[in-house]
Amino acid sequence: MTNSDPQNKSGQQSVNLFQDITEDKRKALLDEVSSWLGRLVLLYGVPFHYLIPEGEMLPGNAGQVKGSLRFFFLDPVWIQCLVQGACSIGNNGYGDSIIDNAMNQWVQPVRPAGKDHEGLANQKAASIRDRLRLEHEGVALPGEDTCLDWPLTGFVLRSPVVEGWRGLEVMAYKKLSAEEWNNLPRNDLTEEQISKLTKDHVAPLKPLRIEQLSKDVILGIFNGIIAELVIRQPQEGLHFGITRAAGSLSCTKTLRELGYKNPGEAGELLVDKHNQQLVLPVSLREEGENPKYPGVVDIAATAAAMKEILLQEGALKEGRFTSAEFAVEMIEAAGEFTYRLNIKSSSSSTKA
């Protein structure tokens, strides 16, 4: 009898598998395989009906429903099985099990048991979006390598907004503990991010994949648990805007503080002495039931009416009303929606 153990023999050979080839070839091989598997971790190439098996789970624009937004966890066990399934294609013998053992050691999306290094697929998945932005937008890669911070969370949005607002901006934020809040570097944060950090104790969450899957569906996956999601119309959507009354051609404009009397209140809605918002009826070029050019604003008449109200409220500086004041009153910021969540990590995450 011998003490030969096929399983140990297989494990030993899998360790030596990459030691028998040159370092350059080993790196090239692992880089190519782990890059492909890293994309698989983020569900690239996974058919959409595998993710949303029933249309009722993500209803679209029909009847009273104007779209839907769904949040999810990525189950690391499900992803592990997905990667292992991809690596098992064509397996039919003992030699393939040696390769499987080597692949499990190097390229699995979670840290191999007993190892002190992250799987290469983990690292590749965390940097896919950074490398795509470098290739297509010229955005420099971050200075530090990142790894996946399981559990990963994300969202699927189905809405006419996706089709109507090209280039939607999507930002996610994570909750911070007191220690994380104190130690978080603030040098690279924007003014908006610093404000959220101060008020809500949330910090930016790294996006791993944000992609429009169809004309009205967008998918987002983030490196951690989402506490707050912001979906915003592109900033180039800044425009003049008025409010049209339901079922009518008439329009109004709610006036705002210019900041001459109270600089700290600049931009806030203007109210009268009865604390009622001041709403200006917008003058149209043609009035009546069937105008030849419906919805065309009479700029001169609207500006004159606006100036009169602002003078009565003492909101102008030395009684001057110029194109600057008119622009401040008429401007409409890009539309924005904020969703605050209370997602808690658990040992049994919801399957994607």
The C-alpha atoms of residue 286 and residue 68 are separated, in whole angstroms, by: 39
pLDDT at 7: 47
Q: What is the rounded average pLDDT of the residues 177-201? A: 92
169 pLDDT band (50/70/90 cuts)?
very high
Tens digit of each residue's pLDDT (9 = 90 or more) over 190-212: 999 999 999 999 999 999 999 99
For residue 330 the two structure tokens come to 């008429």
Find how far residue 238's CA is from the centre of its chain.
20
For residue 293, what are the contacts with CB-CB under 8 A and spacing of at least 6?
Answer: 285, 286
For residue 71 the two structure tokens come to 């949040």
Let me know if 64 is exposed, middle or buried by CB neighbors in 10 A (0-12, 13-18, 19+).
exposed
The C-alpha atoms of residue 118 and residue 123 are separated, in whole angstroms, by: 7
pLDDT at 20 over 50: yes
Q: What is the rounded average pLDDT of the residues 216-243? A: 91
Tens digit of each residue's pLDDT (9 = 90 or more) over 251-266: 999 999 999 988 888 8
Least confident of 25-39, 41-55, 157-171, 306-320: 25-39
pLDDT at 130 over 60: yes
In the chain, pLDDT over 70 holds for what percent of residues? 80
Least confident of 244-258, 267-281, 335-349: 335-349
Residue of higher predicted confidence among 167 and 15: 167
Find how far residue 280's CA is from the centre of its chain.
36
Mean pLDDT of the chain: 83
- Domain boundaries defined on the chain: 1-47+79-147, 239-332
- Per the CB < 8 A criterion, the answer to whether 203 and 176 are in contact is yes
pLDDT at 340 over 80: yes
- Residue in the structure block whose two tokens are 């404000």: 195
The C-alpha atoms of residue 174 and residue 181 are separated, in whole angstroms, by: 11
The C-alpha atoms of residue 79 and residue 151 are separated, in whole angstroms, by: 11
Q: What is the rounded average pLDDT of the residues 110-139? A: 76
The C-alpha atoms of residue 270 and residue 162 are separated, in whole angstroms, by: 33
How many CB atoms neighbour CB 334 within 10 A?
14
The C-alpha atoms of residue 203 and residue 342 are separated, in whole angstroms, by: 15
Q: Quick check: helix, strand or coil at residue 122? A: helix
Least confident of 71-80, 101-110, 115-124, 138-147: 101-110
Maximum average pLDDT range among 54-63, 157-166, 175-184: 175-184
**Cα–Cα nearest to 215, from 181, 143, 256, 164:** 164
* pTM for the full predicted model: 0.74
